Amino acid sequence: MLRMIPVREAILGSAILALMLLIASRFAGFIAPSNLANVFNDTAPLIILALGQMVVILTRCIDLSVAANLALTGMAVAMINVAMPDLPIPVIIVIAILLGAAMGAINGVLVWKLSIPPIVVTLGTMSIFRGIIFLISEGKWVNSHEMSAAFTGFPRAEILGLPVLSWTAILTVIVFGIMMARTPLGRSIFAVGGNPHAAVYTGINVGKTQFLAFVISGALAGLTGYLWVARYAVAYVDIAGGFELEVVAACVIGGISIAGGIGSVGGAVLGAIFLGVVKNALPVINISPFWQLAISGSAILIAVAFNAQSGRKKGRIILKSEEVPRD
């Protein structure tokens, strides 16, 4: 398993490079450093959300409410900014993270304590969160002229030539790289996804680990909610509609196994970058949006087939499948 992950990353990295060279053959300006920086900045929200989704998928769960979480948090902090324009940006960011984490905790508790399938839980909360947006906003938009300059300017502020949004994605990648490789929580996440029955024997609480994964995913969705709304300077009910599918696609393309336990931070990042390159490059060379969807869909099918093929080789079973204690 450990040897397969670098192979997946190498293949995906080569595919991204080949795609960029193909685009450059028709539009040389695409690979200019300034344009690549813009592509990365456009992809930054997807990278952040994909890392949160990765943690959830690794524990054999899935979070389909990330986009609704993003939208609700974004609308909430936008309305707070309208009501209190002098509120410091760090406070707004903390509020966004806490709101997102609270919504993630709701998902986690329902999965952990009530043993409801994650896909059912997050489909339900996705609709609930979208409905709450409509209730608190009464269907109205929050537009740029209503937001403070500090609120909209923070994600766009440049540090060493890159916007804060890009640096946030880079910092998130570094933190997750350390967390997954060097901390007990990271090892527990892999253990729960790889073999939950064996994880119980090592003293790992499977349900609690899945709960923490949902909280992490929710916190990142909340953070991205502020960054998204501030960057585009608008908040409305259907913001980021359908974006949860792109997040899951980025993980699957990056080699994160839906069965859990297999994946890497680098894979999730490369999966997001692949989709970001496709999304930004193909319209430039006048290729139909259909082909964007077709390429993404084909990549997902190839990734799933690759995961299934690699997962067929199983070792000798030393622990029988039993009901996993979740308390």
- Tens digits of per-residue pLDDT, 58-72? 999 999 999 999 999
Whether 317 maps to a domain, the answer reads: no
Q: pLDDT digit string (tens) for 70-128?
A: 999 999 999 999 999 999 999 999 999 999 999 999 999 999 999 999 999 999 999 99
Q: Mean pLDDT check: name the lowest of 36-45, 296-305, 313-322.
A: 313-322
- What is the pLDDT at residue 6? 66
- Domain total of the chain: 1
Mark out the alpha helices in 84-163 (DSSP H runs): 89-113, 118-137, 149-153
| DSSP letter assigned to residue 323 | P
- Joined together, the tokens standing for residue 246 give 């792109």
Q: Other CB atoms closer than 10 Å to residue 38's CB: what's the count?
A: 14
Task: Give the per-residue pLDDT at 255.
Answer: 87
Strand partners, 162: 159
Structure tokens that stand for 4 in this block: 């397969």
320 within a domain of the structure (yes/no):
no
- 155 pLDDT band (50/70/90 cuts)? very high
Report pLDDT for 8: 77
- For the cut 60, the answer to whether the pLDDT of residue 3 exceeds it is no
Q: What is the mean pLDDT of the chain?
A: 88
CA–CA gap between residue 129 and residue 303 (Å, rounded): 31
Q: Which residue has the higher pLDDT, 158 or 26?
A: 158
C-alpha to C-alpha distance for 27 and 23, rounded to whole angstroms: 6
Helix (H, G, I), strand (E, B) or coil at 203: coil
Helix or strand (DSSP H, E) at 289: helix 289-310
Whether residue 201 is predicted with pLDDT greater than 70 in this model: the reply is: yes
Cα 51 to Cα 24, 124, 138, 178: the distances in Å are: 29, 22, 32, 13
Judged against a pLDDT cut of 70, whether residue 2 lies above it is answered with: no
Residue labelled with tokens 């609480």: 205
* 195 domain residue, yes or no: yes
Confidence of residue 318 (pLDDT cuts 50, 70, 90): very low
Poorest-pLDDT segment among 159-173, 232-246, 313-327: 313-327
Helix (H) or strand (E) holding 158: strand 158-159
Cβ atoms of 240 and 224 within 8 Å: the answer is no
Residue 323 lies in a domain: no
Q: What is the pLDDT of residue 265?
A: 94
CA distance 133 to 114: 26
Q: Among 238, 210, 275, which residue's Cα sits nearest to residue 16?
A: 275
CB 230 within 8 A of CB 138: no
In a domain, 292, yes or no: yes
Residue 88 lies inside a defined structural domain of this protein: yes
Q: Which domain holds residue 224?
A: 4-21+33-310
On whether residue 105 sits in a domain, the answer given is: yes
- Partners of 235 in the beta sheet? 142
Q: Does a structural domain hold residue 159?
A: yes
Angle at 252 between CA 103 and CA 29, to 5 degrees: 100
The enclosing domain of 99 has a CATH number of 1.10.3470
User: What are the pLDDT digits (tens) for 211-254?
Assistant: 999 999 999 999 999 999 999 999 998 999 889 989 999 999 89
Residue 27 backbone dihedrals phi, psi, to 5 degrees: -145, 95
* pLDDT band (50, 70, 90) for residue 54: very high
Of 161-165, 168-172, 176-180, 198-202, which gets the smallest average pLDDT? 198-202
pLDDT in the model for residue 26: 82
In whole angstroms, give the CA distance from residue 151 to residue 144: 10
CA–CA distance, 235 with 293 (Å, rounded to integer): 26
Per-residue pLDDT at 317 exceeds 60 = no
